[in-house]
Copies of this chain bind each other. A is one copy, B any other.
Amino acid sequence: MPLCCRVFIATSLDGFIARTDGSIDWLMEAQRSVPEGEDCGYEDFMEEVDVLVMGRNTFEQVATFDPWPYGDLPVIVLSSQPMSEPDSPTIRVCSAGPIDLVAELEAAGYRNAYIDGGQTIASFLREGLIQEMTITTIPILLGSGRPLFTGIEHDIHLERVATRSWPFGFVQTTYRVQG
């Protein structure tokens, strides 16, 4: 069984996942208009995920959250530079490239990987390793920041799977990556 690599992420209408300095204040602000109990499909998405792959930057941000938000889900932190192994049985640092990591996770029996963090998503997309993307568009233009899509060098065709929208202005579309 192949591994399905999925993205679940929010962007501004102009395609940024964070400001240039990494700040997601605009996203936190937008989330204040989301009614209690509405998670925009996150829990349903996470129910199918059996491994989470993120970059070092994202990990360092998430590591400041208390409590740790991913329970006992295995988490792989990709880092090309040496970093100390986190003190947790579920978190592992890995310096492999996307292709090798996917092969390794497949061999280990994983089926659904949540690929997170701008650079990590970009490197997986470049290698044609993302099968599905759920993008939630927040009704704001930032003008500048860290783009979700970067380093793509040829057309990538997508198939729309589902679209949802909410009264608080978010629009969420799930795409399957073709080819």
Contact = CB atoms under 8 A, between A and B. Distances in A.
A15 interface: yes
Given A173-B165, A175-B13, A159 B139 contact: yes
A163 B13 CA distance: 14
**Size category of the binding interface on chain A:** 20 to 34
A36 B142 CA distance: 37
29 contacts: A13-B149, A13-B158, A14-B147, A14-B148, A14-B152, A26-B155, A125-B141, A139-B157, A139-B158, A139-B160, A139-B175, A140-B155, A140-B158, A141-B152, A141-B155, A142-B152, A142-B155, A143-B149, A143-B152, A143-B153, A143-B156, A144-B152, A158-B169, A159-B169, A160-B165, A160-B169, A160-B171, A171-B171, A171-B173
